[in-house]
């Protein structure tokens, strides 16, 4: 997170650090719960993915605004072999 805006130097008190530590611990638990719930959604998501591929190859893919391009069925992507469905990435491309 970097809004790149003004930060005024100040001393963080022990009380504030303890508050942050407690919130970090709760956030870790919240993240784990979300990760599990999203894993459990995988079968439903697989159906949604295939419906999406059906739509973009029938009524079209939104390229820009309402401009649509119908994707040829032969150009649709193939699910990678051994792919484990995953949509929650703790720190995105920077890994976990």
Partner 1 sequence: MARPHIEPFCDRDVHFKNMLLPGFGRDMGFKMLSLDTDSGACSMTVQFGGGYKQAPGFSWSEMEMMVVEGELRVGDRSVRKGHYFFVPAGYAMPAISSEQGALVLMMYNTAEPSHVEATEHHPQCQLNLYHDVDSYMDIPWAVGNVTKPSVASGCLIKLLNYNPISHAMTFLYCMTPNFYQDNISYHDCAEESYHLWGTSWMMQFGDLPTGGYFWRPAYINHGAFASEFGCIALGRTDSKLFNHFHYNPWSTPVQNRERSGARLYQRDPLLYRWAVSKDHNHPHGPEDFETTMPRRGEGFDQAGARVSDGKQHSHWHGHHHHDHGHHHD
By CB under 8 A, residue 36 contacts partner 1: no
**From the CA atom positions of the chain, what is the Rg in Å?**
21
Near partner 1 by CB under 8 A: residue from 14, 36, 39, 59: 59
What does each C-alpha distance from 33 to 29, 40, 43, 73, 76 come to in angstroms?
6, 11, 18, 37, 33
Q: Which SS3 state, helix, strand or coil, does residue 58 take?
A: coil
> Which residues form the interface with partner 1 (CB under 8 A)?
1-8, 10, 12-13, 15-16, 19-20, 23-24, 26-27, 30-31, 34, 38, 41, 44-45, 48-49, 52-53, 55-56, 59-66, 68, 71, 76-77, 79-80, 83, 86-94
């Amino acid at each position: 997170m970097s809004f790149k805006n003004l930060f005024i130097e100040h001393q963080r008190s022990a009380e504030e650090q303890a508050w942050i530590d407690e919130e970090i611990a709760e956030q870790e638990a919240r993240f784990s719960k979300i990760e599990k719930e999203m894993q459990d959604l995988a079968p439903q998501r697989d159906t949604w993915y295939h419906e999406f591929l059906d739509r973009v190859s029938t009524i079209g893919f939104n390229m820009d605004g309402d401009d649509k391009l119908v994707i040829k069925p032969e150009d649709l992507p193939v699910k990678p072999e051994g792919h484990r469905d995953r949509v929650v990435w703790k720190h995105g491309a920077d890994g976990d």
